[in-house]
Structures are given as C-alpha cells and as structure tokens.
Amino acid sequence: MSMLNRLFGKPKQETNALTTLDKLNETLEMLEKKESVLLKKAAVEVEKARDFTRSKNKRAAIQCLKRKRLYEQQIEQLGNFQLRLHDQMIMLEGAKATTETVDALRTGAAAMKAMHKATNIDDVDKTMDEINEQTENMKQIQEALSTPFGAAADFDEDELEAELEELEGAELEEQLLQPATTAPAAPVQVPAGSQPARPAPQKRMAEEDELAALQAEMAL
C-alpha cells in the first residue's frame, strides 16, 4: 500500500479512520482508568461499613453502603460506555478494511486500464503486421541467396534429369549383359598324415577310355 500511496496519494478516508480509531482508543483507556478508581472507592466504602458495623454505628455503615451503590452505578455506566466504544471501533475497523479493499480494487482497475490503453488492439495488429512483413522479407532474402547464378544458372534442370535417367538405364543394361559368375569351389582340406582318397575303379576306367579317345583323335 505504501508504494500505491506514493503513486496515487493516500486516501483522506484512511487518515480520518486512523485518527478516529486513535481517539476512540484514548477514550476507552480513560474510561478503564475511571472504572478502576471507582472500584477501589467502592471497596473502601465496604471496609468502612464493616468498621462502623463493628462499632455499632449503623447509620454511618448505611451511608457507606449508599456511597458504594453510587460508585457501582457509575461503574455500570462506564461499562456501557466502554461497550459502545468497542462496538464503534469494530464497525469503524470493518469500514476501514472495506474502504481499503475498494481502494485497492480501484487502483488495480486503473492500472489495468492504463495497460490496456498502452497496448490497444490496433497496436497489436500493427506489430503483428510488421512481424509478418519482416518474416516475408527474410524468406525472400533466403530464396535470393539460394538461387544459382553465373554458369550454373544456365543449366536446364529437365535436361539434367533426362541425362541422369540415361546413365541409370545404361548402368542397368551393363549389369544385365555381364555373364553370371560362379563362386570357386572351396578347396578340400586334407588332414595332416592322411592319404588322399583314390578314385573309384569305375571312374578310373572311364577316365582312361576318355584319354584313349582323345589320343586317337589327335593321331588322325
């Protein structure tokens, strides 16, 4: 609240409320002191009445009791005054709290209004338009920088794609024309100390017949 008071000024109602509360507190303290004095005086009259009763002075004892009654009446009246003051203070404190709450809400509403005035919808739209414009300019700059220039700008993209398709077709055709190759048979490993297996008799005879036929053809 102190910062708000410096900005917007301290409400006059709050000053009046504080002053009134201080005055009520002072009055309440004065009444309490008076009540304490009267209680002591009433107690003194009771002691005097007892003393006069012991000395058989009935008339003096009754006078003491009368004064004691008067003090008690004043004490009761002061109690009613204190009760009224307490009630007034409670109501005033409640009104002060209500006033402070309303003032705080009013201050918040004024601050919100000032902020809305500083950032109205026209300003927001204008700012968004500027952002979109700058974004579009940046896109155009990036496109300009990525556009080929010089000799590279004269290349026809369609021709380059057609040439690439021809290269892919020639590569595929070359792969189809290549003869199929068979993987060489893995050599048979013979364990150390063992003799290679001899060919079967029938296979050996067939090989001899084939060799003989080859020699006959060479003789012719």
169 vs 52, higher pLDDT:
52
Amino acid, res. 81: F
DSSP symbols for 115-157: HHHHT-HHHHHHHHHHHHHHHHHHHHHHHHHHS--GGGGG--H
Mean pLDDT of the chain: 77
pTM of the model: 0.43
The answer to whether residues 71 and 45 touch, using CB atoms and an 8 Å cutoff, is yes
Q: Please give the pLDDT value at position 70.
A: 95
The answer to whether residues 21 and 99 touch, using CB atoms and an 8 Å cutoff, is no
**Is residue 71 exposed (0-12), middle (13-18) or buried (19+ Cβ within 10 Å)?**
buried
195: DSSP letter = P
Nearest to 153 by CA among 140, 144, 142: 144
193 vs 53, higher pLDDT:
53
- Whole-angstrom Cα Rg for the chain: 61
Alpha-carbon gap, residue 174 to 212, rounded angstroms: 44
pLDDT tens column, 21-34: 889 899 999 999 99
Alpha-carbon gap, residue 204 to 212, rounded angstroms: 12
Q: Please give the pLDDT value at position 6.
A: 43
Domain residue extents for the chain: 16-120
Alpha-carbon gap, residue 145 to 15, rounded angstroms: 70
9: left (phi over 0), alpha (psi -120 to 50) or beta: left
Mean pLDDT of 120-125: 74
Q: Please give the pLDDT value at position 4.
A: 41
CATH class of domain segment(s) 16-120: mainly alpha
Amino acid, res. 43: A
Nearest to 97 by CA among 11, 14, 19: 14
Residue 99, both tokens? 């006033």
pLDDT tens column, 155-188: 667 777 787 788 877 777 777 777 655 555 555 5
56: DSSP letter = T
